[in-house]
């Protein structure tokens, strides 16, 4: 490492230590300062390191956490940015503790729009692709633009092994298949025949060859499932890692089987089973054993804003980040598994990091929550009026939807909620402020 990079590294670590002493987030600023002072710092910090990138629209943070936890069962040093800081500055910060003369493994969540920028400095050994859905249209554009950005990044690292979701049609396009991906999938259905449609309002269900609407044998959620074109030979790829049975699914636990072997995770939702499957597929490709993977999955803990359970005033508060229609629908499906009465808090902002256009809330199925025993509903954020109107249209309950200022009143709302079971659905910047107010 050059003298300049050594000095910049010391400065960045000092900034990180100071921020932690002040109880402030230390995931981005140290890396931001380091990059401003030394454009080669990423390259210098990456020596003697095996890199695994995790990218896609949804599930990056949870998959990164699953995989890092698993790999710690096998490797002595595993670095990660599991708090979700997935831009250049966050990745630099996560590598500050990389020992210069030891072999390490780094599991990095990488923003799908920034994989090209990261790829100019770091060459991944493995890249895991979770999914691609509509997300922040003002920033990402359509799903095909996102795929092109990812492929542009992959072109910078031709030696990388690609592990991709085989249930997503867009990942079977020729432009990605040229990288010879290893695919994983869920096949928990004995249905025969490709006669089903994807879920309403799904993305990427047009055959790339003949432009017909794809049909499905199984649909797990949205456009994910065992697909085939009715008019040509485009179909699901050959799958290496297949979940053949989901044995149990509740808000806080899931159990599934692959080739007769059981796996368990301490979170619910089919989308989180996909996240776990992504992680274990990478782990198996790295040569880990079943016992190591099983133990690692079982050690998974609360992750920043992803089914994050906290106790506030002796009440169970579950925080879920929501940022696009597909992700929100999966969170809604998870909440519908709840059997006890709940209080619902929805926070909606439209800052740049959230997406400036909030019309996506109308592409999501809040109406599914109508079957729950909801005792009270609260809305807040810069677009709380829009949020309130959307929930009124969903007709979830007969009471008044209460507006409040989450910065100054969230503690009072939680304390005075009518139940001890509170679900918070929040966009990104609102969640950051919420965590600050609750001192998480």
Residue 84: is its pLDDT beyond 60?
no
What is the pLDDT confidence band of residue 82, given thresholds at 50, 70 and 90?
Answer: low
DSSP code string of 252-306: TEEEEEETTEEEEESS-SHHHHHHHHHHHHHHHHTT--HHHHHHHHHT---BTTB
> pLDDT tens digit string along 66-81?
999 999 999 998 998 8
Decide which of 19 and 154 is more confident.
154
Q: Is 207 annotated as a binding residue?
A: yes
pLDDT of res. 189: 81
Segment of 17-21, 346-350, 404-408 carrying the highest mean pLDDT: 346-350
Q: Is 72 in a helix, a strand, or coil?
A: coil
Q: How high does pLDDT run on average in the chain?
A: 90
Domains of the chain (ranges; CATH) run: 47-299 (3.40.1190.10), 308-438 (3.90.190.20)
pLDDT of residue 174: 94
- Check: CB of residue 410 under 8 Å from CB of residue 375: no
pLDDT at residue 239, as a whole number: 97
pLDDT tens-digit series, residues 135-186: 766 666 688 999 999 999 999 999 999 999 999 999 999 999 999 999 999 9
pLDDT digits (tens, 9 = 90+) for 362-412: 999 999 999 899 999 999 999 999 999 999 999 988 889 999 998 899 999
Q: Looking at 97, 195, 197, 357, which residue is catalytic?
A: 357
Please check the confidence at residue 230 and state whether its pLDDT lies above 90.
yes
Contact 324, 356 (CB under 8 A): no
pLDDT at 140: 64
Separation between Cα atoms, residue 98 and residue 79, nearest integer Å? 7
Question: Is the full-model pTM beyond 0.75?
Answer: yes
233 labelled catalytic: no
Q: What is the mean pLDDT of residues 279-287?
A: 97
The alpha carbon dihedral of 140, 144, 147, 148 has a sign of negative
Confidence of residue 440 (pLDDT cuts 50, 70, 90): low
Phi-psi category of 371—alpha, beta or left, where left has phi over 0 and alpha has psi -120 to 50? alpha
* Range 40-62 average pLDDT: 88
pLDDT at 275 over 60: yes
Whether residue 243 is predicted with pLDDT greater than 60 in this model: the reply is: yes
The answer to whether 232 is annotated as binding is: yes
């Amino acid at each position: 490492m050059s003298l300049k990079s050594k000095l910049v590294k010391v400065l960045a670590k000092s900034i990180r230590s100071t921020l932690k002493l002040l109880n402030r987030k230390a995931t981005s600023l140290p890396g931001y300062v380091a990059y401003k002072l030394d454009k080669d710092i990423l390259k210098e910090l990456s020596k003697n390191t095996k890199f695994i990138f995790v990218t896609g629209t949804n599930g990056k943070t949870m998959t990164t956490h699953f995989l890092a936890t698993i790999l710690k069962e096998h490797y002595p040093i595993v670095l990660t940015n599991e708090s979700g800081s997935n831009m250049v500055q966050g990745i630099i910060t996560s590598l500050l503790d990389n020992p210069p003369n030891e072999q390490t493994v780094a599991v990095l969540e990488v923003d799908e729009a920034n994989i090209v920028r990261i790829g100019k400095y770091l060459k991944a050994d493995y890249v895991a692709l979770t999914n691609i859905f509509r997300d922040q249209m003002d920033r990402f554009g359509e799903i095909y633009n996102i795929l092109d950005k990812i492929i542009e990044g992959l072109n910078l690292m031709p030696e990388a092994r690609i592990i991709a979701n085989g249930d997503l049609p867009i990942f079977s396009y020729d432009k990605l298949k040229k990288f010879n991906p290893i695919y994983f999938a869920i096949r928990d259905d004995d249905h025969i025949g490709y006669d089903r449609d994807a879920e309403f309002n799904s993305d990427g269900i047009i055959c790339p060859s003949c432009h017909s609407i794809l049909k499905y044998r199984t649909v797990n959620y949205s456009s994910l499932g065992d697909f085939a074109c009715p008019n040509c030979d485009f179909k699901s790829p050959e799958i290496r890692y297949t979940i053949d049975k989901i044995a149990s699914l509740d808000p806080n636990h899931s159990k599934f089987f692959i080739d007769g072997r059981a796996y368990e995770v301490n979170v619910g939702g089919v989308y989180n089973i996909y996240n776990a499957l992504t992680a274990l597929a990478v782990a198996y490709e790295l040569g880990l054993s079943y016992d190591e993977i099983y133990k690692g999955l079982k050690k998974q803990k609360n992750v920043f804003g992803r089914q994050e359970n906290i106790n506030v005033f002796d009440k169970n508060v579950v925080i879920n980040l929501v940022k696009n229609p597909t992700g929100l629908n999966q969170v809604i499906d998870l909440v519908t598994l709840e059997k006890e009465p709940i209080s619902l808090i929805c926070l909606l902002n439209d800052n740049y990091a959230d997406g400036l256009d909030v019309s996506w809330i109308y592409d999501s199925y809040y109406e599914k929550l109508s079957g729950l025993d909801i005792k009270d509903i609260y809305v807040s954020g810069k677009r709380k009026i829009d949020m309130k109107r959307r929930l009124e249209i969903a007709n979830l309950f007969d009471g008044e939807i209460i507006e409040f200022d989450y910065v100054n009143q969230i503690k009072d709302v939680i304390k005075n909620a009518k139940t001890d079971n509170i679900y918070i659905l929040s966009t990104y910047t609102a969640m950051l402020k919420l965590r600050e107010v609750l001192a998480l």
